[in-house]
């Protein structure tokens, strides 16, 4: 299985961002997960396209932009111009999800839809063949460092079944509270992309963030 690791910089040390990102790149990360939060859709404020554009100039990883913002359609061109490769919007509150997904794809970017822990798979049932990725939130959106919600695991298996039934080509990304143990559980349920924030960037066990990424990979390789 081709598993992808996507470090989230939400809880990184922004003073040392260059060092932090270089370390995860060296550790074999595939994506860089960029959490954009506006304080309206979810209860905190992070960063926007200007920060992403600055990182883009120096980082070759796939930019996986997770938009937790109100009215994302207004800002999709800004994130495209900032260098996003994958743009994920939430199913919740976006009344014209199909239109937004095709807006993202019209820029030749990959489109994802994220589901909060309480949102059922049926929210994307009729859209699944249009998507490149479904992001299954394993915490409520807004903050890094929250504990993984195990009740979401059956949703991952249900999504995997839907993808197979509809013959779709869609990545299943999990996001929130992922450590090697949760990565393994989610992979067993069908996930193939793993967002990892605090375990890498706020972990006293690792001086070297590179090693933290490697331990996630080792857990997935052991499956
Ligand atoms: O989207 C979010 C939070 O809203 C996530 O991407 C987190 O930032 C992941 O961080 P950890 O839960 O791994 O600390
Ligand atoms: Fe995220």
pLDDT over 70 for what percent of the chain?
Answer: 100
CA of residue 205 to ligand 1 center, whole Å: 19
Neighbour-count burial of 84, counting CB atoms closer than 10 A to its CB (0-12 exposed, 13-18 middle, 19+ buried): buried
The percentage of residues in the chain with a pLDDT greater than 90, rounded to a whole number, is 95
> Which atom of ligand 1 is nearest the CA belonging to 44?
4
200 Cα nearest atom in ligand 1: 13
- Res. 223: pLDDT tops 80: no
How do residues 173-193 score in pLDDT, each as one tens digit?
A: 999 999 999 999 999 999 999
In contact, 189 and 156? CB cutoff 8 Å? yes
204-216 pLDDT, tens per residue? 888 889 999 999 9
Verify whether residue 175 is a known catalytic residue: yes
Look-up of token digits 């869609």: 170
Q: Which ligand is nearest to the CA of 176?
A: 1
- Angle formed by the axes of helices 180-189 and 209-221, nearest 10°: 40
Rounded mean pLDDT of 37-63? 97
> In the prediction, which pLDDT does 71 show?
97
Shortest CA distance to 110 belongs to which of 92, 85, 130?
A: 85
Averaged pLDDT, 33-37: 98
Confirm or reject: Cβ of 27 under 6 Å from ligand 1. no
Summarised one tens digit per residue, pLDDT across range 94-153 is 889 999 999 999 999 999 999 999 999 999 999 999 999 999 999 999 999 999 999 999
| Active-site position among 30, 35, 132, 171 | 35
Say how many Å lie between the CA of residue 9 and the centre of ligand 2: 9
Q: Any catalytic annotation for residue 38?
A: no
DSSP track, 125-179: TTTGGG-SEEEEESS-TT-SSPPP-GGGHHHHHHHHHHHHHTT---EEEEESS--
| Average pLDDT of span 29-58 | 98
Q: In this predicted structure, what is the pLDDT of residue 2?
A: 93
Average pLDDT over residues 31-40: 98
Q: Domains (ranges, CATH) in the chain?
A: 4-221 (3.20.20.70)
What pLDDT shows up at residue 207?
85
CA of 76 to the centre of ligand 1 (A): 21
Cα 73 from Cα 76, distance rounded (Å): 5
Confidence category of residue 1, pLDDT binned at 50, 70, 90? confident
Residue 170 in this model has a pLDDT that exceeds 80: yes
The tokens for 134 are: 């479904």
**Is the CB of 8 inside a 6 Å radius of any atom of ligand 1?**
yes
Dmax over CA atoms of the chain, in Å, equals 46
Check: CB of residue 142 under 8 Å from CB of residue 68. yes
Residues 6+ apart with CB under 8 A from 109: 80, 84, 85, 86, 87
Please tell me whether the overall predicted TM-score, pTM, comes out greater than 0.90 for this model: yes
């Amino acid at each position: 299985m081709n598993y992808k690791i996507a470090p989230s910089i939400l809880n990184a040390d922004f003073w040392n961002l260059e060092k932090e990102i270089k370390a995860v790149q060296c550790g074999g990360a595939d994506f860089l997960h960029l959490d954009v939060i506006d304080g309206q859709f979810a209860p905190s404020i992070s960063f926007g396209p200007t920060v992403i554009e600055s990182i883009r100039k120096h980082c070759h990883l796939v930019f996986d932009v997770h938009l937790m913002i109100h009215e994302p359609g207004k800002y999709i061109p800004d994130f495209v111009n900032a260098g996003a490769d994958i743009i994920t919007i939430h199913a919740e509150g976006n009344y014209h999800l199909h239109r937004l997904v095709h807006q993202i794809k019209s820029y030749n970017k990959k489109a994802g839809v994220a589901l909060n822990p309480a949102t059922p798979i049926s929210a994307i049932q009729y859209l699944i063949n249009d998507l490149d990725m479904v992001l299954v939130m394993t915490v409520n959106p807004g903050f890094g460092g929250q504990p993984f919600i195990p009740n979401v695991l059956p949703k991952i298996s249900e999504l995997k079944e839907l993808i197979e039934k509809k013959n779709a080509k869609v990545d299943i990304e999990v996001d929130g509270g992922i450590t090697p143990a949760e990565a393994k559980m989610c992979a067993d349920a069908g996930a193939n992309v793993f967002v990892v924030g605090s375990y890498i960037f706020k972990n006293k066990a690792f001086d070297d963030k590179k090693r933290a990424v490697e331990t996630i990979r080792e857990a997935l390789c052991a499956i």
